[in-house]
Amino acid sequence: MSYQIVASGMVLLHLGFVGFVVAGGLVCMKWRRVVWIHIPAVIWGIAIELTGWICPLTPLENYLRQKAGEQAYANDFVFHYLMPILYPETLTRKIQLLMGLVVALINITIYAYIIRSHKHRHQ
């Protein structure tokens, strides 16, 4: 299998993970057992944003790109793939903190709804 194909697959996996972190609570509304996977994913995603860490998938993708003879990127996945779409300017620490807080607020709102609807069904 080509390193380029695997690296591209990593991008899709990474993008799927980011989507799951942000909106996976909606999946939990339908399938409650997914909560046990989603909550750790949310904690990880928020930790990555709030601490400025780099997700391990980023260096892995860069390694695969280099093995394929391509150039690796110097920053993280969010900055490289998503920031040019979401924010045309460079990523600042303030924006990164804001992104982490937005993810937290989205998920707090979704889980508050799930808990409230669960309580109403069992009354």
Summarize pLDDT for 57-90 with one digit per residue, the tens. Answer: 888 888 888 888 877 776 666 666 665 655 556 6
Q: What is the pTM of this model?
A: 0.66
Query: Which pLDDT score is estimated for 72?
Result: 74
Query: At residue 122, does pLDDT exceed 60?
Result: yes
For residue 50, the one-letter residue type is L
The DSSP code for 70 is: P
Is residue 62 within 8 Å of 44, Cβ to Cβ? Answer: no
Residue 32's pLDDT band (boundaries 50, 70, 90)?
Answer: confident
**Would the pLDDT of 10 be above 90?**
no
Q: What is the pLDDT of residue 38?
A: 94
Count of residues in the chain: 123
Percentage of the chain modeled with pLDDT above 90: 17
Q: Tokens for 102?
A: 């937005």
- Contacts for 28-34 with beta carbons within 8 Å, 24 or more apart? 28/110, 28/111, 28/114, 29/110, 29/113, 29/114, 29/117, 32/114
